[in-house]
Amino acid sequence: MSTPRIESLPEGLANLADFEPAAQARVDAQAWAYLNGGAADEITLRANRAAWDTIQLQPRVLRDLAGGHTRVNLLGRTLRHPILLAPIAYQRLFHADGELAVAHAAAAQEAGLILSAQASIDMQAVATPMLADATAGPLWFQLYWRDDRDFMRDLLQRVQAAGFQALVLTVDAPVHGARDRERRAGYQLPDHIRAVNLGGRKKPLDLQPGQSVLFDGLMPRAATWREIDWLRATSPLPLLLKGVTHIGDAREALDRGVTGFIVSNHGGRALDTLPPTAALLPPLRAALGPEVPLLVDGGIRRGTDVLKAMALGADAVLLGRPYVHALAASGALGVAHALRLLRDELEIAMALSGCKTLAEASPELLWPGSFPAYFR
């Protein structure tokens, strides 16, 4: 299948949240828990959303905004707008067309796409519609480290040959978080859905009596700074790290040739009680300076959220769960409609805030008294 099916949109879709009930009606309880759940008590999951709501805007008026636009520069490219789709695994759990539908929608709406290593559609099929449209946003490939360098070398070669323009290594989830909602629902990946771009089997764990599955089995296989050096030496593609939250780690990564970062707490799915990403972003920007590419995800739902993220120092934002809700609700057309709604809201927010371009979105746009204690 090279083109996704066309479905009708549910009625009354005025914003991204409106897709959620339509999606839940079409997705089984196990998959719904996998998509929407967070780690442990889901404190970080809730905080991501609450932080964007807490920050308030301080608009300027009577400015000449004629000719304004949402264009941004990222990794040497001019993008029509700063919205990319975050890597989310196994999208055929939510719609038969999965990542293929998402790629067509992203291309149609000039959005960027980061394909998960655990995608359920072949990477070349996903890349084709993105690369065929000159106005589409960037196409990047997200990696989890696998402790098999021959396998990783082959994967990197296939990614480059397929036309992907950058690598994104997720570094904040060497093991799964304690996802209670998934466990209560009894989530298991169905037999007919798999990570089609990751052939072969992982090496079985070789544990001695009394050894820890986590510390003696899994963690010796996790990525370290040595693997960052190997990735930089093995692939010519720019490398971004997703999930760096500490300034010291970011500085070491830059010293080792990493290009940029996605400020992320894994959507609240890995380690609970991390700060929200809206709070993590400003100190990283202040420490790293204006030239280092910084993207942010976590709780983005409104055009005002996008504008606030840009004012806090982001170069672009990643949309996560809401686009999968749109996919589940009505396939490619749903994802395209969700992106269009968010783009329109961003333009409205800019116009009502007195921002002609996103370069004008600075901390002065944000009301100082609205920042919670963790921003200070």
Annotated catalytic residues are 266
| CA 106 remoteness from chain centre | 13
Q: Residues 268, 273, 277, 283: is their CA dihedral positive or negative?
A: negative
Tally the C-alpha atoms within 13 A of residue 372's C-alpha that lie toward its C-beta: 14
Structure letter (DSSP) for residue 11: T
| b/e burial code for range 130-150 (CB count within 10 A of at least 16 → b) | bbeeeebbbbbbbbbbbeeee
In angstroms, what CA-CA distances link 262 with 106, 111, 245, 293, 349? Answer: 19, 16, 9, 8, 24
Structure letter (DSSP) for residue 309: H
What are φ and ψ of residue 79, in 5° steps? -105, 150
Distance of alpha carbon 306 from alpha carbon 339, whole angstroms: 12
Count of CB atoms within 10 A of residue 258's CB? 22
